[in-house]
Homo-oligomer: A and B are copies of this chain.
């Protein structure tokens, strides 16, 4: 069965505060890096999944993202699906 590689990016919704990101932004300026106008920390989930075809892979990854990887009340997610990677990489 083909192997698909995907990355799910989970980010806080714009209306949700990000205290860790704010703290990191403050630390950046103490490190001498000024000019950071935005810094928000999200999750990047790397997944490898066997599926019969790209459509099935995408459906399963969307289910995972909605139900397990992101909390839809406070987070958005985007899916980047690569083609069959079982040969080669």
Which A residues lie at the B interface, using CB under 8 A?
1, 3, 9-11, 21, 24, 27-28, 31-33, 35-51, 60, 63-64, 67-69
Residues of B near A45 (CB, < 8 A) are 21, 24, 39-42
What number of copies of this chain does the assembly contain? 2
Whether B51 contacts A47 by the Cβ 8 Å rule is no
Q: Are B42 and A46 in contact (CB under 8 A)?
A: yes
Q: A1-B35, A35-B60, A68-B31 are in contact. Are A43 and B43 (CB under 8 A)?
A: yes
Are B60 and A27 touching (Cβ within 8 A)?
no
Shortest Cβ distance from A14 into chain B, in angstroms?
11
Cβ–Cβ < 8 Å partners of A32 in chain B: 63
* Contacts beyond the supplied A35-B51, A41-B43: 14 A-B pairs with Cβ under 8 Å: A3-B37, A10-B44, A11-B46, A27-B68, A28-B64, A31-B63, A35-B50, A36-B47, A36-B48, A37-B49, A38-B47, A38-B48, A42-B46, A43-B44
